[in-house]
Structure 1
Amino acid sequence: MSLFENVPARFGTRSVKWDLVKSLYGADDVLPMWVADMDFTAPKPVIDALTKRVQHGVFGYTFTDPPLHKSIKNWIKKRHDWDISASSLLFSPGVVTTLHMAVQTFTSPNDSILIQTPVYPPFYDLVKKHDRQLITNSLVLKNNRYEIDFVDFEEKLKTGVKAFIFCNPHNPVGRVWSKSEVETIANLCMKYNVLILSDEIHADLIYQGNKHIPIGSLSEKVNAMTITCMSPTKTFNLAGLQVSYAIVPDQNMREKLSEFSQKQGLTMLNTLGITALDAAYSEGEPWLDELMTVLQHNRDLVTEAFKNRNEISIIETEGTYLIWMDCRNMGLIHNDLKMFMQEKAKVGLNDGISFGDDGNGFMRMNIACPSALVEEGTNRIIQALDNYL
């Protein structure tokens, strides 16, 4: 775990996570465990590739090419057992950017779009900011693990839903959807002719005993009605380099999405983002394997720490580096829960209600940091529970 034991000094780097602590939480002694980036340096091959590119000193217009496409194809085949075509790839600065463009390209104002809640807050914006109708399918918490209410899911699709934004693996509840679940979703969307917009940015962050199933990998028929969004940015801590890609096998859909992208002026990627993507997928796998050992240790540390506490339950986490904490037994209204965490525990977490009404009484913790910090944050919360409740 030597690569992951120390936190790089992030203050003074314009870090959203660290440099905005006081403005967000009202004090500078709050431990930030919220925004989804890591307190780890990127893999050495990525840093070396970026250093070499920077030292070249020329940062003119850049394009994606067959060797880069091959890196992506090889990565997806090795990690997810999915053969994709290089011709199906479209690039953009980020997954959310692609989803915004897809919503505008393939749906119209007042069209209904389905999401499964609680879910990543930008999903709500994807619907509402473009004057679409938000339809929700609430996930069901059973025995400390979330499941899909497929009866409700189908009833919602029957109402004329045009697109379904799928979060796989799921942020924030940590589910890595099983093949059976993914197949049921795909079959229902095919039955009601619903476009699938699949956010799979956490696809590589999967714990032992689980397997990510890209929904587009199920069949050619499913793939033809799916836009799959992926990126190395969550996997290798490259979010600030703004690089992602979409897998769009249907030529007509791909041309329409590409045309819309060009109308927005999104005609090329960040030069350093391209460099980092290629290096990460070509040489970053050993780093990722070690990272997952650290994350699994951190996940288990948090789970064990709260195992015998009545106030907080840790939801079973199968993927991502995000822990979903059920704090409803604390007996606090949500704003008081938020204040308890930042003022009493001195830990900066994501407010559960920002993930929708189904997040009321929950908090989200980012464990992608050295184990010592995870232990400190966990201990701060437990001590606050002992002192104030």
Structure 2
Amino acid sequence: MYDFNKIIDRSGSGDLKHEVLEERYGRGDLLPLWVADMDFETPQFITDALRRRLDHSLFGYTVEPKEYWPTVQRWIRDHHQWEVPLEWFSYIPGIVKGIGMVINVFTNPDEKVIIQPPVYHPFRLTPEGNGREVVYNPLKENADGTYSMDFDNLAEVADEKCRLLILSNPHNPAGIVWGRETLARLADFCYDRGIIVISDEIHCDMALWGNKHVPFATASEKAAQCSITFGAPSKTFNIAGIVSSYSIVPNPEIRKKFYSWLAANELNEAPMFSPIATIAAFEQGEQWRRAMLAYVEDNIRYVEDYCREHLPMIRPLRPEASFLVWLDCRKLGLNHDRLIDLFVNKARLALNDGEMFGKGGEGFMRMNVATPRAILTQALSQLKDAVCG
């Protein structure tokens, strides 16, 4: 019913994935499997909803549709068993932007932000760009290649100046679906020390292999009272260019402070097409979402099988959520520069290198497998030729 094998020509669309290859990788002839959007066509029901609005050719000031937040509320209740009162919601103009806003509203310049590398690099760049010190609480790598939170280290590095912790839930780049016990333990630590947890849950609707996403704020009452949750339909339905992010804040004091600031700066007002795309995605998207995730799971299996047979020195960590595969390339024995040279100049592939995700990312590469099988096959073949040729 849905053709995920269809190859979409994105030329002329201004897409980030292709347009900045020369700037970021030094050459434009690369197969891009880096930025975290999908090569699948945005589902037709979203395009149709947008087109219907475009047919009314007057684009003045608008209000949010009445069904906007009840639709988001219903989706979260149905998929994550979290009953979110409507007053807890607010639109935000992007999750990384939201992180920057929270940093400015809730921290002073001499205060600190905790992150858990290897992790999505804006978690480091955004606090640093706002003049805040970043405190590192690296994840522990387990014997099987999976990761755990290091609570002993967290207790060592967190001091009275630490005001925020940015949580990747599910985790990017390793695809971890954090368990309720881990999240509740983190909440105990942060609540007791007056640390607010920003939980980035943009990949929450993409749990794989029967895994179940646990919203941080549902892990315990302490989690609810020390958290700001960010989510969006953008990863799941491939609409990142239509900024459709939202915030959920259960604690009334935190909510008043944050949402009053958003309102004062008119940053809580969704642009015209965001609610339209969100409503279409959450009202009509379940069948498409399930089919897409099944295709992604097959692609992950394909990568695993291919590496096992042709690239045994590269070990893919199976993600529990999303379409990003964390490739352990350490057995290749290459330093950072030589690993980049292998992927970019020899294999002609654009991936995210592990070092950009911080401590523990050395020797890894992040591969986006949300792409038609033919493209994935070509990418792996080019990598095999580079490694074995």
TM range (shorter): over 0.9
Q: What are the residue-to-residue correspondences of 1:120-139 with 2, within 5 Å?
A: 120-139=120-139
**% of aligned pairs identical?**
34
Is 2:319 the counterpart of 1:313? no
Distance 1:329 1:12 in 2: 39
> Is 1:218 equivalent to 2:219 in the alignment?
yes
Q: Unaligned regions of 5+ residues in structure 2, if any?
A: none
Match for residue 17 of structure 1? Answer: 17
CA distance in 1, matches of 2:119, 2:156: 20
Residue type of the partner of 1:350? N
Q: Partner letter of residue 257 of structure 2?
A: K
Residue 224 of structure 1 and its aligned partner are, at CA, apart by 2.1
In structure 1, the partner of 2:325 is 323
Higher mean alpha-carbon deviation, 250-259 vs 281-290, is at: 250-259
AA aligned opposite 2:124: Y
CA distance in 2, matches of 1:340, 1:300: 23
CA distance in 2, matches of 1:378, 1:93: 36
Cα displacement (A) at 1:93: 1.5
Q: TM-score, normalised by structure 1?
A: 0.95
Residue 53 of structure 2 corresponds to which residue in structure 1?
53
State whether residues 112 and 133 of structure 1, in contact with CA within 8 Å, keep that contact through their aligned partners in structure 2.
Answer: yes
Unaligned runs of 5+ in 1: none
Distance 1:154 1:296 in 2: 37
**Aligned ranges 1:135-150 → 2 under 5 Å:** 135-142=135-142, 143-150=144-151
Q: After TM superposition, give the deviation of residue 193 of structure 1 in Å.
A: 2.2
Aligned partner letter, 1:230 = G
| Residue 114 (structure 1) aligned with residue 114 (structure 2) | yes
Letter in 1 for 2:165: F
Deviation beyond 4 Å, 4+ runs, structure 1: none
How far residue 206 of structure 1 moved from its aligned partner, in angstroms, is 0.8
Question: What does residue range 1-389 of structure 1 map to in structure 2 within 5 Å?
Answer: 2-142=2-142, 143-158=144-159, 160-308=161-309, 309-387=311-389
Amino acid at match of 1:385: V
Residue 65 of structure 1, CA deviation: 4.4
Q: Aligned letter for 1:111?
A: E
Q: Secondary structure at the match of 2:308?
A: coil
User: What is the TM-score normalised by the length of structure 2?
Assistant: 0.95
Distance 2:210 2:231 in 1: 22
**What's the offset of the Cα at 1:194?**
1.3
Show CA shifts across 1:168-223 (max 9, x none).
Answer: 00011111111221121112212222111110000011102311000111234421
Please tell me whether the aligned partners of residues 118 and 139 of structure 1 are also in contact (alpha carbons under 8 angstroms). Answer: yes
Tell which deviates more after alignment, 249-258 or 363-372: 249-258
**1:117 is paired with a residue of what secondary structure?**
coil
Count of residues paired in the alignment: 387
Residues 1:2 and 1:87: Cα distance change in structure 2 (over 3 Å): closer
CA distance in 2, matches of 1:113, 1:19: 33
1:241 partner SS: coil
Q: Which moved more, 1:61-70 or 1:83-92?
A: 61-70
Listed one character per residue, the Cα deviations across residues 246-294 of structure 1 (whole Å, up to 9, x for unaligned) are 0012222222212322454425222111110111011111110000001
Alpha-carbon RMSD across the aligned residues, in angstroms, is 1.6
Instruction: Give the whole-Å Cα distance in 1 for the aligned partners of 2:152 and 2:13.
Output: 48
Most deviating of 258-267 and 2-11: 258-267
Q: Deviations over 1:327-386 (max 9, x none)?
A: 112121102211110110111101211111321211111111112211211121112110
Q: Distance in 1 between matches of 2:250 and 2:327?
A: 38
Of stretches 166-175 and 376-385 in structure 1, the one that deviates more from structure 2 is 376-385
